[in-house]
Amino acid sequence: MKLAGTVWKFPQADINTGLIRKQMYNHLPPQEQGKHCLESLDPEFSSRAKPGDFIVAGTNFGCGSSTPAHYSILALGIPAVIAESFGPLFFSNCAGGGLWPIVCPGILQLVETGDTLEIDTGSFVVRNVGTGKTLQAQPLPEIYRAMIEAGGEKPYLKTRLARERQAQT
Amino acid sequence: MHALHKILARCGRPQREHVEPGEFLEVEPDVFGVIVAINGTEAKRMAADLAELGITELPLKNRIYAVADHASPAPTVVIAQAQKLWRDFFREHGVRVFDGGAGVSHLVLCEEGLVRPGMLAIAIDSHAPTMGAIGMYACSLGGGRLTLFAIGRYVIQVPKVTLVRVSGTLKPGVLGRDASLYVNGRLGQRGAYNNAVEFAGPFIDALSMDMRFTFANMGTEMGAVTSYIQPDAKTLEWVNRHTTEPYTVHETDRDFEYAAVHDVDVSDIEPQIAVPHAPDDVKPVSAVAGRRIDQAYIGSCASGRLEDLAEAARVLKGRKVHPDVRLIVTPGSREVLKAATALGYVQTLHEANAIVTSANCGACPGLHGGILAPGDVAITSITRNFEGRMGPGAEIYLASPATVAASAIEGRIASALEYA
């Protein structure tokens, strides 16, 4: 599968989950958290980002609290975050939520805000569509890839349970 | 293999003889810790999702513990409604709930003996590694909550292990939390990134259990996914005081190769302070002494134990909190609160005009019990001082409970050495 989208770049290292979505909005319905996404770093981001856009981030993006800050990204219709590296809890939160967390060392040099980026979710090659330059991102473990392709934990579990129940009969 | 890897191998599904750092492993945890959470939409969705999947009985149900530690008792109607939905969900599924006032989950699960050496616990909270101080594998859940409820499984990337060897003896008036802050400053926010961190060395051996929990807790702020301290006689005495249930102490193989080894000597350190907005931006307190403060806060899973309250009471005995400052003390658990009451610490805190709250996460995650206003400056003993954590636009300093108490008296950041 190939995804293509416009890049929003947040190059700072160690953007923690509280900066992605403040804890004070944790109680809001997930769909309403989008308007607060990354507001501490760019107050206009949530109103300007469009469904299908990508976030490109620096080192240790989503470090800190295990709070489901990825809701705010999903609510904007953003399907993927491509980062130099991720906070481990945010990384697995994304997979469970059906949001692609792509680890791609060198991504900050590959694209700028406004560029179009293409991601091949089979080979994990990412390409700056404008310059044609590519990078090999780290492949996701199979279980996470299956989960995200299914659309998150619930559809993944549905398929898995159906398979396991069938095997028992 | 490392002791932590032996725990993961046992909990692997299928069970494994050996695990390799870097591999993604499906595990069945011994304990699944959850929060009586504050998002009502999620509670409704969880119930609906399980129904849709045809799950009527949770496979881990006797090993799931829900703790009302964040924003509890509820500070708003919306949160009260959400917590009610979660309570209903847990009751319906026969999940044991530790309700308001029990304390922070990592303290409660250890004190209740529900987690023990050699176990694997997955708990929804980035500071779950605190429990590693008793020699277990304790990590936070990221994603995967529905899967754990529905089929009792979770995917863990088997971590490499970073060893931090701490040596030295502290000067009088310098506390375990100062040493912990110093180590965090030395290693940095990514010092054990995506690794497990093991704390060892003569300083850790000599440390009390309360302060070992503090060290394990702050492994999270080095980017570690779990923290570990090899059990010794002190650990087992503590564990045996809290449970008669059996447990297993694993040893790390002699030929195990650590991903990194750091040696830190804490002999000459002054009281330490992490300045806004990063837990690894650590300086001697003297570097920022005199900075005006609005709030002082003692508590959290980093420093809300009996020894922490004892230090606060020692500094505050016969003194008063500065009239321009509010000092809030939130014990980490009911056990801590009861012991601190029996020993007279709570009375001392009241005499000093401190606000003593019930046991919970309190103001640390910025949900209630001491939220800061924009422009407020707070000195605290909490886990992390990220921008906006206790309220947008505020500044958070991290220090030992003694430094927080000394600063509360003076109305400005002050060294605890003057109160040693």
Q: Can you tell me the distance from the alpha carbon of A68 to that of B142, in angstroms, rounded to the nearest whole number?
A: 8
Residues in chain A with CB shorter than 8 Å from the CB of B126 are 64-66, 89
Average of per-residue pLDDT across B322-328:
98
Residue A169 has pLDDT above 90, yes or no: no
Which of A33, A41, A94, A63 shows the shortest CA–CA distance to B384?
A63
Contact A154 B53 (CB under 8 A): yes
Whole-Å CA distances, A30 to A37, A75, B86: 11, 7, 16
- The architecture in CATH of the region B3-163+174-180+186-242 reads 2-Layer Sandwich (3.30)
Average of per-residue pLDDT across A4-22:
97
Contact B155 A66 (CB under 8 A): no
CB contact residues (below 8 A), chain B span 328-367, against chain A: 365-367
Task: Report the SS3 class of residue A51.
Answer: coil
Instruction: Report the number of distinct structural domains present in chain A.
Output: 1
Nearest residue, CB atoms, A158 vs list B42, B53, B366: B53
What's the pLDDT tens digit per position in B244-269? Answer: 999 999 999 999 999 999 999 999 99
CB contact residues (below 8 A), chain A span 72-91, against chain B: 85, 87-91
Check CB contact of B143 with chain A, cutoff 8 Å.
Answer: yes
Contact B143 A141 (CB under 8 A): no
Check CB contact of A166 with chain B, cutoff 8 Å.
Answer: no
B420 confidence band (pLDDT: 50, 70, 90): confident
What's the pLDDT tens digit per position in A58-113? Answer: 999 999 999 999 999 999 999 999 999 999 999 999 999 999 999 999 999 999 99
Chain B residue nearest residue A66, CA to CA: B126
| Within-domain flag for A164 | no
Q: Can you tell me the distance from the alpha carbon of A67 to that of B67, in angstroms, rounded to the nearest whole number?
A: 16
pLDDT of residue B256: 98
Tell whether omega for the bond before A43 is within 30 degrees of 0, i.e. cis.
Answer: no
CATH code assigned at A114 = 3.20.19.10
Prediction pTM value: 0.97
User: What is the topology classification, in CATH, of domain B275-419?
Assistant: Aconitase; domain 3 (3.30.499)
Nearest residue, CB atoms, B193 vs list A60, A64, A144: A60
Q: What is the ipTM of this complex?
A: 0.96
Residues 6+ apart with CB under 8 A from B169: B203, B206, B267
- The 10 Å CB-count burial string (b at 16+, else e) for A115-135 is bebebebeebebbbeeeeeeb
B317 confidence band (pLDDT: 50, 70, 90): very high
By residue range, what is the domain housing residue A58?
A: 2-139
Please say whether the beta carbons of A63 and A16 come within 8 A: yes
CB pairs under 8 A between A and B: 117
Q: Where are the domains of chain B?
A: 3-163+174-180+186-242, 275-419
Residue B100 has pLDDT above 90, yes or no: no
Residues in chain A with CB shorter than 8 Å from the CB of B190 are 14, 59-60
| Within-domain flag for A158 | no
pLDDT of residue A64: 96
Residue B58 has pLDDT above 90, yes or no: yes
- Rounded to the nearest integer, the mean pLDDT of chain B is 97
A168 confidence band (pLDDT: 50, 70, 90): confident
Tell whether omega for the bond before B127 is within 30 degrees of 0, i.e. cis.
Answer: no
Residue B141 has pLDDT above 90, yes or no: yes
Whole-Å CA distances, B240 to B134, B136, B205: 11, 15, 18
Average of per-residue pLDDT across B212-226:
98
| Within-domain flag for A165 | no
| Within-domain flag for A110 | yes
Q: Can you tell me the distance from the alpha carbon of B296 to that of B391, in angstroms, rounded to the nearest whole number?
A: 14
| Within-domain flag for A159 | no
